[in-house]
Chains A and B, each alone.
Chain A
Amino acid sequence: MTASQDTAPSRPFPHRHLLGIEGLTPDEIGLLLDQAEASVAQNRQVDKKRSDLRGLTQINLFFEESTRTRTSFELAGKRLGADVINMSVATSSIKKGETLIDTAMTLNAMNPDLLVVRHPHSGAVELLSQKVACAVINAGDGSHEHPTQALLDALTIRRRKGRLSGLLVAICGDILHSRVARSNIHLLNTMGARVRLVAPPTLLPASVERLGVEVHHDMRRGLADCDIVMMLRLQSERMHGAFVPSIREYFHFWGLDYDKLASARPDALIMHPGPMNRGVEIDSAVADDIDRSVIREQVEMGVAVRMACIEILTARLRHPERVS
């Protein structure tokens, strides 16, 4: 693993935005995870609030419905002392026909220090980032990337397993539409883990093997000897014939139950980015198994990771002297 927090020098993070995992180095990912470790401790104290970001403005701009991610970013910003404003699509002028770029320019004129953006279209957050002067965190763009989800998954794994390198991770389910899967594949590959994808061919994008992953259609074989089983959400509109024939058939072959889990390592951890469809991609008892499931821990790590990302991306505002 990279240097732990007490030996870490104040290395500047070289990127202005966090738009994706693809392209980050192991050191940069390590830096974000180390910083997040410190936030975990803070978040478990009675007094969770710091004032490091006092005076800074964070806008959460969500063009797509989200409760948990938006709340997680909101808590993260507030615990660091920033002023946090939420803008959702329902109240935004995008509904009135304003273009994404106009929205970006309008918000930019209000001098925020950080924009956290979620958008239903791949590449939209990057497009927006080109038009604003502040830092931008991608909170999920289309089927492209969701970098903070991959970071929180990595932090959860690292705390439980002590490392990422050398682990065998199975990512199962709707890979085709999943930004979580893409970000996780990039992160795990970068950090030296091995990645397997388990899904029917209709839920796998063409050429996915080019990401350096093993592809399995049979779940038991895919889970064999895995250290980590990551389940993905299957959207309800994809359950009834378009991509898979039915919920019943999907659960029978690709739903995680104890029977299929038995082929993974006995100490394999179960993860899910939420929100779960119990009985579709995951059996309820497995999801709630306190010995195996780290799903709730992922949510806790989410706040810590987002605090780390916010702190690191705003470091150049707060400590301009450290940045060359």
Chain B
Amino acid sequence: MTAARTAYLGVRLLDPASGLDQTGALLTEGGVIADLGPGLFADGVPEGIDRVDGRDLALAPGLIDMHAHLREPGAEHQETLSSAGAAAAAGGITTLIATPNTMPVIDEVALVEFVARRGLESCAVRVLPMAAATKGLAGLEMTEMGLLAQAGAVAFTDGDRALADPRLMRRALAYASTFGLLLVQPVEEPALARDGMMNEGEIAMRLGLAGIPTVAETILVERDLRLVELTGGRWHAAHLSTAQAIDAVRQAKHRGLTISAGAAPANFALNETAVGEYRTFAKVKPPLRSEDDRQAVVAGLRDGTIDVISSGHAPQDADSKRLPFAQAAFGIVGLETMLPLALELWHNGSLPLLTLLKAMTCRPAEILGLAQGRLAIGAPADLVLLDLSVPWRIDERRFRSKSRNSPFGGRPVQGRAVRTIVAGRTVFDRTEEA
């Protein structure tokens, strides 16, 4: 029996890895890309190949979301791997990198295997687990990083908690370097951020809310960069939000450090004014910052200081948000809004299209050592068929995610996934949606 073959015809082929931006066709065979190019099928498509007409659409590698809280196991009322998969597929995401801050914490081999297996069973897109860097996320003892990596952990992080102890961080970087493993650090110095609810500044002062100072991010980034220099460890800042920290990373890259950094859409699509009058949907880590900081995130993406756009998807149930601001949970759901919010940066002229897509495809693939994330013969057929310009309005009531905590409801955006393909198989088709 031959593998299923599908031809995507008349599409704008977008491959950030090679710089390809040309109209043409692409053929998938089984789970991989068999051929592609402007001349492919110029003389017609042979019998036995399924056809997808992609005129006026773009075909890009499926998006890789490098930082998503998927809540399973332990908080299935907020999200499951199944609901996250449906949301991701609708958002054009074909690979989810799951954070380990679940209940239980993913800090043992069996648990990494559990998440990977549950992902295969119940999630429409690929799920690759990150494992905890310290046991129980307690920040005290390292996990069995080597064994966890062999079991499938693609990186190590304490989720939304920074590895704060400098001595432990030094050792974790040094030990992880034995196996070339990546540490993903949420860059917030916890003591400086303690009790903070939002960006420190005029708005927090007027609202009477304790602030999270810019320097909490800067200090942890600068400290970690010194430790990376010392140990040669591999380090990725989960999400940068401040001009100062972005500048520190920029300088370190100029010095030749092989580091990388991410940004979440909230930090380039909004600033602290979105908190308005205690809007808990805008309570998020890293906090929404000043307009200058927001522009620095855009500039960082433009010049490559920030390598990756990742959703930071953090589902929260309604009861966790319908509270006084100080008591409400942090977090924004992001799987279904990452792509359109990122595309805003192209539509408004801030970033070239391929630069933007690179931050969600081949760049995270490169950092994590994944084969997907590019349009190349033999690469996994993880694809997204995009209408780059269709105008629509974000409606959180229609999210496939189990949680609705988004400050973006009602926002007019342009561009979205029309069809999402994982390993050659269509996992989302907007034309079949109600």
Contact = CB atoms under 8 A, between A and B. Distances in A.
A142 interface: yes
A122 B325 contact: yes
Most chain B C-beta atoms within 10 Å of own C-beta, residue among A126, A182, A207: A207
A126 B208 contact: no
Nearest to B214: A206
18 contacts: A22-B206, A100-B323, A101-B322, A122-B208, A122-B278, A122-B325, A123-B209, A123-B277, A123-B326, A126-B277, A126-B278, A127-B278, A127-B324, A145-B208, A182-B208, A206-B200, A208-B205, A210-B205
A127 B277 CA distance: 9
Interface string B313-329: 00000010011111100
Nearest to A19: B277
B141 interface: no
B145 interface: no
Given A99-B322, A121-B325, A206 B205 contact: yes
A84 B358 CA distance: 64
A275 interface: no
A148 interface: no
Contact of B324 (A123, A210, A211): A123
Given A122-B278, A126-B278, A206 B213 contact: yes
Contacts of A144: 207-209
Interface residues of A, number: 24
Interface string B400-433: 0000000000000000000000000000000000
Contacts of B205: 205-208, 210-211
Contacts of A22: 206
Interface string A116-149: 0001011110110000000000000111110000
B264 to A, nearest CB: 23
Contact of B326 (A121, A126, A206, A207): A121
Interface in B316-349: 319, 322-327
B204 A206 contact: yes
A99 B319 contact: yes
Q: Chain B: interface residue count, which band?
A: 20 to 34
A141 B208 contact: yes
A237 to B, nearest CB: 13
B211 interface: yes
B15 to A, nearest CB: 46
Given A121-B325, A122-B325, A179-B208, 6 more contacts: A121-B324, A122-B326, A142-B324, A144-B207, A206-B204, A206-B205
A174 to B, nearest CB: 13
B395 interface: no
A153 B109 CA distance: 64
Contacts of A207: 200-202, 204-205
A206 B211 contact: yes
Interface of B: 200-202, 204-211, 213, 277-278, 319, 322-327
Contacts of B208: 122-123, 141-145, 179, 182
Nearest to A131: B322
A69 B206 CA distance: 23
B277 to A, nearest CB: 6
Contacts of A142: 208-209, 324, 326
Nearest to B201: A207
Contact of B209 (A122, A145, A208): A122
A121 B327 contact: yes
Nearest to A124: B324
A241 to B, nearest CB: 15
Nearest to A208: B205
Interface string A90-119: 000000000111000000000000000001
Nearest to A142: B208
A101 B205 CA distance: 25
Contacts of B319: 99
A150 to B, nearest CB: 14
A21 to B, nearest CB: 12
Contacts of B325: 121-123
Contacts of B200: 206-207
A122 B278 CA distance: 9
Nearest to A127: B324
Contacts of B210: 143
Contacts of A145: 208
A275 to B, nearest CB: 21
